[in-house]
Structure 1
Amino acid sequence: MKIGLRTIKTAVSATLSMIIAGSLGLLYPASAGIISVLSVTNTKKTSLLTGLYRLLSLALATGIAYVCFTLFGFNPVAFGIFLLLFIPSAVYFKLSDGIVVSSVLVTQYLVEKNLSWAFIGNEFLLMTIGVGFALLMNVYMPDAEKRLKEDQEVIEVMFRKILNNMAAYLNQHGKERNLFEKCDDLKAFIRTGEAWAKTHAENHLLSSNDYYLNYFTMRRMQSNSLKDMLRILEKITVEPEQVESIQQLLEYTADTFAETNDGQAILDRIAQVYEVYRKKELPKTREEFENRAQIFQLLQVFHSFIQIKAEFSRHQNEKAL
């Protein structure tokens, strides 16, 4: 049995919440512990937002409960009417995350038959203590940056291998099927990195740290283009010298593929390859024409593939200014 960090945080925050609520002489101190259990999340940002939304949800619930219990008395029917009004209201105001917790606290108004300011303060203190300790426990979060950098390196190695294999298999019909599987593996790995990057970004409350999230999103977009290139590559069957310049372009891209490469040099080479094909003799047969069209389509998709990285680099440079 493995006890994770989040489990430890949950247990500690619940315990401290109950102790503090009890020491302040609040009624139902266990509720503070339960609120804390429900408020410990995976990131600092979600913990902060969860706490804020639950306090707002309790304010909404208290207002509706006051009207319902005043008009209909402290009884189950009044509570049912409260739920009929509170649940859609919470959804409308995007406070649905606090529906359960706030409803439980409202039952304490019902049990105590009490909606005095003192008892309302009791409930808000329970909520504040519970979400407060949950947020306090999330002040410490393991830094995922080392893992993100390692994932970047793995992804770039995977891209290089696929690009080199594409260069080797270009014009060799039927030998590139396993590249589709490699592309799928690459995309799955990128999505895992995106999830870690999102967590990393949400653990920085006072500063914007979305570089890694943007990076993995950019690589995911490139992986989509890579798969489109493979589909076109399957259809190309020409003499080896007809695709030599594209093979060299793919090999150069694989050799220089890196986080720091802004793609401009590759875009220049793509323009040169376009010019090479424009100067070639026009196709004489339908088959030659179709193959030439596939080659141009491959170049277009490849241009988009590199342009994605160039746009990413430009955007990052603008942010740094």
Structure 2
Amino acid sequence: MKVKIGYRTLKTAVGTGVAITIAQLLSLDNYVSAGILTILCIKPTTKRSFRSSWERFLACLLGIVFSAVFFEGIGYTPFSISLLLLLFIPAVVAIKATEGVITSSVIILHIYNFNTVSWDIVWNEVAIIVIGIGVALIFNLYMPSLEKDLLLIRKQIEEKFSIILEEYAVYLREGESHWDGKEIIEVGDLLQNAKNLALKDIENHMLRDDDKYYVYFKMREKQFAILERVLPIISSLDQTYIHGKKMAEFMEKLSRSVKPQNTANVFLHELEEMREEFRNSPLPADRDEFETRSALLYFLNEIEQYLLLKRYFKPGAFSKS
């Protein structure tokens, strides 16, 4: 069986060794704890790593203060540890540093084991904290680019959209289709994966909020909801109705224009012309024609909403994609 070592695993392994080596070279007591801190602070994204590191640093400093007060004031006994943790954990939660509860508890137990609080011990613990967290932050500054993956999944979604729109056009023209609808299920899964990947990409940018992909995928998600909504309407339309044929031609053109660049205004103008045609058409001759026309008008309105979502999207970030 082929075993793949991921970049995060590699960073964790190397970073842990580096942190322990530095702490050991400085002759720090409990130097292995620096490696533990590094393991805990290397996260899947840069922002999460910084948040985790800050919370652990804050909690550890607070743990040193609590240790000095409780152990020196009450004594180095199991009772004092229990009382300390009883008050310390709520304090950590209050300052929103919950990720640091475990690591700060280790620091507290270090001081308990020393059986005294001195500046040398405080320096020892602070040095372990700084080394462990610092190494993790340095190693986590590098994150592989997700641009290629995001571009690929964007194209996959656009291809599925094109197929769905093309199949809708076939049904509007012929009244039947051999399409199994699998693209509907696939797009739903792709959109969820795409949003998760886009959020991860945002979390990897410390100095800028580059959310172009996330905004794009959210727009496509709203459009997809419309495509799902109109599916039952299409299946109920009478394919012999002349406006249905025109709508089929329109959907065919739309299927060939699924891309990041904004062409919505062109299609909205054409859609408005079709709506005007509907208004000027003779009144329905019978109930069936009335129901067909009503369904088609509803379909037209939904497609208009589909296009409006695209019109409000700013495609500049994808202009060269």
The reply to whether TM is greater than 0.5 is yes
- Whole-Å separation in 2 of the counterparts to 1:83 and 1:200: 37
Do the aligned partners of 2:239 and 2:245 also contact (CA within 8 Å) in 1?
no
- Whole-Å separation in 1 of the counterparts to 2:157 and 2:76: 61
**Counterparts of residues 194-209 of structure 1 (less than 5 Å):** 194-209=195-210
TM superposition shift of 1:176: 7.3
TM superposition shift of 1:261: 2.4
- Whole-Å separation in 1 of the counterparts to 2:193 and 2:13: 28
Identify the residue that residue 192 of structure 2 maps to in structure 1: 191
- Whole-Å separation in 2 of the counterparts to 1:143 and 1:92: 36
Identify the residue that residue 28 of structure 2 maps to in structure 1: 26
Identify the residue that residue 111 of structure 1 maps to in structure 2: 113
Q: 1:164 aligns with which of 141, 151, 166?
A: 166
**Counterparts of residues 1-321 of structure 1 (less than 5 Å):** 1-170=3-172, 175=177, 178-179=180-181, 181-237=182-238, 239-313=240-314
Amino acid at match of 1:113: N
Amino acid at match of 1:28: N
- Whole-Å separation in 2 of the counterparts to 1:91 and 1:292: 61
Higher mean alpha-carbon deviation, 133-142 vs 228-237, is at: 228-237
- Whole-Å separation in 2 of the counterparts to 1:57 and 1:122: 16
Amino acid at match of 1:95: A
1:240-276 residue CA offsets vs partner (Å, 9 max, x unmatched): 4131222122111111221112411112122222212
- Whole-Å separation in 2 of the counterparts to 1:90 and 1:295: 60
- Divergent runs of 4+, >6 A: none
- The DSSP-based 3-state class of the residue aligned with 1:260 is coil
- The DSSP-based 3-state class of the residue aligned with 1:42 is coil
Unmatched segments (≥5 aa) in structure 1: none
Do the aligned partners of 2:23 and 2:31 also contact (CA within 8 Å) in 1?
yes
Kindly tell me: are residues 110 and 155 of structure 1, through their superposed partners in 2, closer, same or farther at Cα, counting changes over 3 Å? same
Amino acid at match of 1:281: P
Under a length normalisation based on structure 1, what TM-score does the superposition of the two structures give? 0.89
Kindly tell me: are residues 132 and 255 of structure 1, through their superposed partners in 2, closer, same or farther at Cα, counting changes over 3 Å? same
- Whole-Å separation in 1 of the counterparts to 2:178 and 2:295: 16
Kindly tell me: are residues 304 and 120 of structure 1, through their superposed partners in 2, closer, same or farther at Cα, counting changes over 3 Å? farther
Paired-residue identity, %:
30
Unmatched segments (≥5 aa) in structure 2: none
- Whole-Å separation in 2 of the counterparts to 1:208 and 1:135: 19
1:163-209 residue CA offsets vs partner (Å, 9 max, x unmatched): 00111012766747732x31121121122222222222222222332
Kindly tell me: are residues 93 and 235 of structure 1, through their superposed partners in 2, closer, same or farther at Cα, counting changes over 3 Å? farther
Do the aligned partners of 1:193 and 1:216 also contact (CA within 8 Å) in 2?
yes
Kindly tell me: are residues 290 and 171 of structure 1, through their superposed partners in 2, closer, same or farther at Cα, counting changes over 3 Å? farther
Do the aligned partners of 1:236 and 1:294 also contact (CA within 8 Å) in 2?
yes
- Whole-Å separation in 2 of the counterparts to 1:19 and 1:261: 55
Under a length normalisation based on structure 2, what TM-score does the superposition of the two structures give? 0.89
Do the aligned partners of 2:263 and 2:311 also contact (CA within 8 Å) in 1?
yes
**Alignment length, in residue pairs?**
315
Do the aligned partners of 1:171 and 1:236 also contact (CA within 8 Å) in 2?
no
